[in-house]
Structure 1
């Protein structure tokens, strides 16, 4: 819990007005987890990659799961173009 805020209920803490990125996080993951993120990472600058999975993992999974007809679904799931998936399958 934040220093000096031990006795506050969530509703009262929210009314203090969180900084922009913390307010956005609180809406996504909740206030308690946002406070944990703040306590763990405050002062650090973090950039999140635009893709969730590592390229090598995607290659392995696409090759494993491709059945000849699910190109579009795999492209959508892993956030790559159908063309990229098609090229990947050609290179074997």
Structure 2
């Protein structure tokens, strides 16, 4: 009988992805906690800075939008916010 066979479905799924040992470690560490996984891996402020840097190196807005999974409109908004923050920091 497989070690994970009697585990709850969520833990079985985790074990398939990261292995039984890692699942047990997460279980021990986070038992009783509710975990939330944001839909994006990158920190929003750091990603905005990355996008700004890429734009400074001439990457077109539509390419930035495609590569970061945002609309071109959202990219322009992020660029404007980063630019504004940089201007505020200089004053």
Same fold flag (TM > 0.5): yes
Cα distance in 2 for partners of 1:25, 1:44 equals 16
Structure 2: segments with no counterpart, 5+ residues:
84-91
Structure scoring higher RCO (CA < 8 A, sep ≥ 6) equals: 1
Structure 1: segments with no counterpart, 5+ residues:
1-10
Deviations 1:12-71 (A, max 9, x none): 3023x22122112112211111111011111111111122122210111001112242x3
Q: Of 78, 82, 86, which aligns to 1:88?
A: 78
Is it true that 1:49 corresponds to 2:38 in the alignment? yes
**TM-score, length-normalised on structure 1?**
0.68
Q: Kindly tell me the number of residue pairs found equivalent between the two proteins.
A: 80
Alpha-carbon RMSD: 2.2
**TM-score, length-normalised on structure 2?**
0.69
